[in-house]
Structure 1
Amino acid sequence: MTEKWAVVTGAGNGIGTVIARSAAKLGYRIAAWDVNAAGVEELAAELGDICVPRQVDVVDEASVEGAVASLPDAPALLVNSAGIVRFGPLLDVSLADWEQALRVNLTGTFLVGRTVARRMATVGGGAIINIASVNGVAAAPNAGAYSASKAGVIRLTEHQAMEWASLGIRVNCVAPGLIDAGMSDAIYADPEVRRLRQARVPLGRLGSSEDIADTVLFLASEKATYITGQVLAVDGGLLKSTLASLPRPKSVDSVGPDDDSLA
């Protein structure tokens, strides 16, 4: 029986690690890739023989192609979770930081996606989930190169989905919101910042890595076989809450049929 492989980039820490764990629980064999070899080796020690760790640099074509070639079967699932943050005002961000964020977050997603898709196409398809961010949907001050790179991931997802649908490959994107994990640890270490940010989320809490993993695996499942090219924000309603945060006089909350001018 052919084994069902899931490739997870950025599996050495944070959300990527949790996605890999969750996929393993559903019966996938895990190809855990990360530039951080120690991180994926630790994950493999936890998961056992179902997890094969490999040090992979997602922006090195030879590294990516070698990793894909080493798989005994075409992956059923690819999760592009590898990413870095490079925050700061645009007037101050260095060209090196700008280019590094675009290279890892966007070019890495392109390179791994293309290489895995070629292998998937030989067996009739598979599912690819790219991890973006709400920062790629809505601009935020001082997000540096991060927002631009994640916006690129969203458009790349749509492009991949349209080009690869005929190959049987579905491509979707998950855009995490305020997630209490991984790269956000430094933000939520400040209790007051944590309180204020959490208060802006309509569902009243920060998200977790498990929230993201559950969404990824839904999109990869048989329950989502008619979904492709979509960007799903997992943000507790944050992106839809702009009007909810605006002041509004109580007097207009009971407008009746005689007060249409106030609508």
Structure 2
Amino acid sequence: MALAVVTGAGSGIGAAIAHHAAKAGYDVAVWDLDADAASRVAAGIGDNATARQVNIASAESVTQAFDVLPEPPALLVNNAGIVRFGPLLELSEADWRVVLDVNLTGTFLVSREAAARMIAVGGGSIVNISSVNGVSAAPNAGAYTSTKGAINTLTEQMALEWGPLGVRVNAVAPGLIDAGMSEPIYADPQVRSLRQSRVPLGTLGSAEDIAGAVMFLASDTAGYVNGQVLIVDGGLTKSAMLGLARPQSVDSVGVDEDS
């Protein structure tokens, strides 16, 4: 079986992706900074999953993790990420840097290592997990918005450089997902209701929604898809005009009175 590496797979969206990859027939390397969480997910998948504690912000940790794999991965999913909320005027340099180190540099380090191995055996697929915050900025998100926007552009650059070498690179940008880092947000019923009301489909997304999109991009069905950011948000980023009233007096504007 082909091998899939999923970072940040100890919980939430990453865990769902790891389970979906196993169902699709991959052996799965479950990587997470939390060793116990990674082990629990791997145990839940079964014999075709292994767990490892990996610090994706450390080139040494990343290289060591790849070196012990039985074969080059056919699929890499860069899901690991963190957020430090707060207004920019009050954001510490330490919080800024740690989010950049994990979200952006980590994505680069893991992808570079995976791509070199994929290229050596004829190719593979990389899917980066971005965010709608990388498409439309959100206030008080610290460095998170900047890193996700950068991941979108990094995805394009990787696709341009590695596509000719057999490695497809795409990204999934989740919207309002009731999983992982967002679970504490949606524990507040009022916040949950307000946020749902902003989504044209009228509901929050799930980890399963994101896992399904990732597996589509990894599949042969998406074999001609490269350098794209697939937004999975129920229409959220297209909803600027949602709920804005229009007076009946303008309903006839543009109608030919002679018709």
Which TM class, normalised by the smaller chain length?
over 0.9
Question: 1:1-263 counterparts in 2 under 5 A?
Answer: 3-258=1-256
Which one-letter code corresponds to 1:159 in the other structure?
Answer: Q
Distance 2:219 2:147 in 1: 27
How much identity, in percent, do the aligned residues show?
Answer: 62
C-alpha RMSD of the superposition: 1.1
1:219-255 CA distance string (max 9 Å, x none) = 0001000000001110000001112243322332343
Q: Could you tell me how far 1:74 is from its partner in structure 2?
A: 1.2
Q: Could you tell me how far 1:186 is from its partner in structure 2?
A: 1.2
Distance 1:179 1:250 in 2: 36
Q: Could you tell me how far 1:144 is from its partner in structure 2?
A: 1.0
Q: Which moved more, 1:60-69 or 1:102-111?
A: 60-69
Distance 2:177 2:4 in 1: 23
1:201-220 CA distance string (max 9 Å, x none) = 00110000000000000000
Q: Could you tell me how far 1:256 is from its partner in structure 2?
A: 4.7
Distance 1:254 1:182 in 2: 48
Distance 1:232 1:253 in 2: 35
Distance 1:157 1:121 in 2: 17
Contact 2:198/2:242, CA 8 A, preserved across alignment? no
Distance 1:191 1:244 in 2: 21
SS at match of 1:52: strand
Q: Could you tell me how far 1:4 is from its partner in structure 2?
A: 0.4
Q: Could you tell me how far 1:189 is from its partner in structure 2?
A: 0.8
Q: Could you tell me how far 1:66 is from its partner in structure 2?
A: 1.0
SS at match of 2:28: strand
Q: Could you tell me how far 1:44 is from its partner in structure 2?
A: 1.6
SS at match of 2:104: helix
Distance 1:129 1:254 in 2: 48
Distance 1:25 1:209 in 2: 15
SS at match of 1:257: coil
Distance 2:57 2:127 in 1: 18
Distance 1:255 1:133 in 2: 38
Q: Could you tell me how far 1:257 is from its partner in structure 2?
A: 2.4
> TM-score, normalization: structure 1?
0.95
Distance 1:254 1:224 in 2: 44
Structure 2 runs not aligned, ≥5 long: none
Distance 1:95 1:247 in 2: 43
SS at match of 2:66: helix
SS at match of 1:258: coil
